[in-house]
Structure 1
Amino acid sequence: MRTKSYIPYLFLTPAIVLFAIFMVYPILYSFLLSFQTSQGGEMTFAGLDNYRRLFSDDIFFTALKNTFVLLVVQVPIMLFGAIVLASMLNSIKRWKGLFRVSFFMPAVTSLVAYSIIFSIMLMEDGLINQFLGALGIKAIPWLSDPIWAKAALILAMTWRWTGYNMVIFLAAMQNIPESLYEAASLDGAGRFKQFFAVTIPQLKPVILFTAILSTIGTLQLFDEPYTLTKGGPSDATLTIGMYLYQTGFRYFDFGYASTLAYVIVVLIAVVSFIQFKWTEEKA
């Protein structure tokens, strides 16, 4: 009997070993690296020097500000658009599957591929500016102006992730009991009022879930600014994730890069905690 009790653990051993090698070890090693600095090609213990360096690093604060601007502006727009689209799809009877697949398709598109396509479309003489020119509107410097570069990132990210969140909201809406809508209708509530009085309250746990996922994704944002704007112009779209990459793999300052990685972890934990608390208070 005792021998049989160890059999399940034997089957789990390969997965546990791989998890320890490729997940646990890198996490622990990067944590140790955050307390080290490179001197003469060798890593030496530096205590909290890397963490102190953060407070005097102007580029870090620029990247932090850019990341939070994208978080505060893009995530609410995307989630609101996803809820509206899900509500529209939930109310139609025909072609629901076709529309659902069409809106979800951007989410399965390669990050690099869609970023390159958007960079081509948003060029000075790109498709979007040509269209605006046909309407008599002056060309917009999407990728060369700091404000418009952020707008380009927001536009690209919203296009890609709205459909992904829409599918999640649609699945949640289909589980809302029809009796709630019938009761609201008997009380004289129209579709608009039902949306805010029934649909939104029932979606609160799902909204929290998607908001946290979107927050984590935005705080780790790398692919879009790297391929679309290269962090420019003048670091206007440089994110923390991109700054981490540059520090570690362009300047080979792995100690400071590890510090940035753990700062991202702390930021994600703090923002997620605030979202949880805010949702509890509103419930």
Structure 2
Amino acid sequence: MKLNFKTREAMVGYLFAAPIIITILIFTIYPVFAGLYYSFTNYQPTEAQKFNMTFVPEESVSFHLGVFPDEEGLVKNELLSLFDPVTFLTLDMGVKLNAEQKEAVSSFLDTDKIVEDFLAGRLNSSVSVKDFMKEYMSSKSELFTRYVPEFVGLKNFREMFKDQYFWISLKNAFVYSIVVVPIQTLLAILLAVAANMKIMGQRFFKTVFFLPSISSSAAISMIFWLIYSKPGVLNRFLSTFGFQAVDWLNEPNTALGAIMVMNIWTTAGYFMITFLAALQSIPSSIYEASQLDGAKFWKTFWKITVPLLRPQMLFVSIMGIIGCLQVFDQIYFLIKNMRNITISYYIYKNAFEYHRMGYASAIAMVLFLIIFAITALQRKLIKEESYF
């Protein structure tokens, strides 16, 4: 079958685009849908590998029955009467079971064969839980080969709206965004205007302004920890004016504000590049006309520069809100109290400290919807095409 030129061209295009398409599917699209699924389950990461755990069956059986296989006078029927399958798995093997698995173990675990192999000394080799269950379950062994989280419906979402730390973290994220985004946007514009001026050392200042945005977040956090700590640089400076030392990062009333200052300092230079590119695309004739009309610098700035930068301001504000609502690393490195946590950090704590991945996924879905709604609202209220 001979393909026409357009079909061959499309196939070649998709072939070249395949690596990035596959990467997006694996690392962006799949995680979103996986998170949506897990938000309706009680998924726990610590449970995911429980059936791959290895153990020595002989030790577990000995502990369960209170005897050793080489003891004299052991009677199989007497040992069988002492054998409780569910207790054996949950307590002696250390495997957490749901209701369906408990019922299957009670009905189908071949305790007769286990005791027989125990007495014959055939259980002294290390084996995984799933292999052991395949060997000694007469039926339903598939329940023990792969961890499947229990579907709980809207339980995670109902619990979330009763969780005080969810509301605290959400409020902190909104306060963080409301304070940081306008200041970092205005500062980025001012830095861009300064960097766009034809003055000596222009390239040096551009580099200095942009440097924090490409520095390691961990390194910057450690630097600001040295600045904000009680015996740190900031308190030493303030002490010269008679101020008492403040523990900026451990005091709930100052910790979040301190992180805001650091975030503004690190991100303003990054957004400066966006505004600088826009400034350099504005025709110089507009500024020349305003000078002929006698307009001063600040009037030119507010009446000409700012209106012409509105498309970039929309982009920067959207990206800034998304970044602020998702702020995590600075909170992780520097904040030690639960009153100043943000929602991204609370997702992390639930997923990797409390081992409640299902609940964390539910919070992540709510955060996704909030960011999506705010972005859609911004684009609806402020049309880019209306700027020109």
Q: TM-score, normalised by structure 2?
A: 0.68
Of 18, 34, 59 in structure 1, the residue corresponding to residue 165 of structure 2 is 59
Which residue does the alignment assign to 1:277?
Answer: 380
Q: Deviations over 1:207-252 (max 9, x none)?
A: 110111111111111000110113x2xx232001000000111111
Partner of 1:208: 314
**Structure 1, 202-211 or 45-54: larger mean CA deviation:** 45-54
Structure 2 distance, partners of 1:244, 1:97, is 41
Report the AA paired with residue 184 of structure 2.
M
- The CA deviation string for residues 5-35 of structure 1, in whole angstroms up to 9 with x for no partner, is 5344344444433433333322221111111
Matches of 1:33 and 1:223, distance apart in 2? 24
Higher relative contact order (CA 8 A, sep 6+): 1
2: CA distance, partners of 1:253 / 1:175 = 50
Match of 1:238 among 323, 335, 341: 341
Deviations 1:70-121 (A, max 9, x none): 1011111111111112112222332111100111000011011111111121
- What is the rounded CA distance, in whole Å, between the counterparts of 1:162 and 1:38 in structure 2? 39
Q: Which moved more, 1:132-141 or 1:166-175?
A: 132-141
Give me the whole-angstrom Cα distance separating, in 1, the residues matched to 2:189 and 2:239: 32
- How many correspondences in the alignment? 280
Query: Which of the residues 22, 28, 47 maps onto 2:27?
Result: 22
Normalising by structure 1, report the TM-score: 0.92
User: Aligned in 2, Cα 1:16/1:86: closer, same or farther, shift over 3 Å?
Assistant: closer
| Aligned pair partner of 1:166 in 272, 284, 290 | 272
Distance 1:50 1:199, change over 3 A: same
- Structure 2 CA distance for partners of 1:101 and 1:34, relative to 1, 3 Å: same
In the alignment, residue 379 of structure 2 is paired with which amino acid?
Answer: F
Secondary structure of residue in 2 paired with 1:65: helix
CA contact (8 A) 1:149 1:236 kept: no
Q: Tell me the distance in 2 between the aligned counterparts of 1:90 and 1:72.
A: 28
Correspondence for 1:194 among 289, 300, 305 = 300
Structure 1 counterpart of 2:262, one-letter code: A
The gaps in structure 2 that reach 5 residues or longer are 45-95, 98-147
1:118 and 2:233 aligned: no
- DSSP 3-state at the match of 2:149: strand
Q: CA RMSD in A?
A: 2.1
- Tell me, in whole angstroms, the C-alpha distance in 2 between the residues paired with 1:278 and 1:134: 49
1:227 corresponds to 2:333: yes
Structure 1: 4+ residue segments shifted above 6 A: none
Deviates more, 1:1-10 or 1:85-94: 1-10
Contact kept in structure 2, 1:87 and 1:170, CA below 8 Å: yes
Paired AA for residue 371 in structure 2: I
| Distance in structure 1 (CA, Å) of the matches to 2:20 and 2:180 | 37
State, as a whole percentage, how many aligned pairs show the same letter.
39
Cα drift, residue 267 of structure 1:
1.0
- Bigger Cα displacement from structure 2, 135-144 vs 108-117: 135-144
1:156 aligns with 2:262: yes
Larger Rg computed on CA atoms: 2
Report the equivalent of 2:52: none
Measure the CA separation in 1 of the matches of 2:212 and 2:42. 41
For 2:382, what is the secondary structure of its paired residue? helix
Paired with 2:17 and 2:198, the residues of 1 have a C-alpha distance of 46
CA deviation map 1:140-163 (0-9, x unaligned):
331122121111101110111111
Q: Is the 8 A contact 1:107 1:160 kept in 2?
A: yes
CA distance in 1, matches of 2:16, 2:335: 47
Contact 1:173–1:203 (CA under 8 A) maintained in structure 2: yes
Note if contact 1:60-1:243 (Cα within 8 Å) is conserved in structure 2.
yes
Partner of 2:239: 133
Paired amino acid for 1:164: Y
* Structure 1: tracts of 5 or more residues without a match: none
Q: Which stretch of the first structure deviates more once superposed, 160-169 or 99-108?
A: 160-169
Q: Which moved more, 1:200-209 or 1:71-80?
A: 71-80
Distance 2:15 2:276 in 1: 41
Distance 1:8 1:171 in 2: 31
Q: Does 1:268 align with 2:371?
A: yes
2:189 matched to 1:87? no
- Within 2, Cα distance between the matches of 1:277 and 1:27? 24
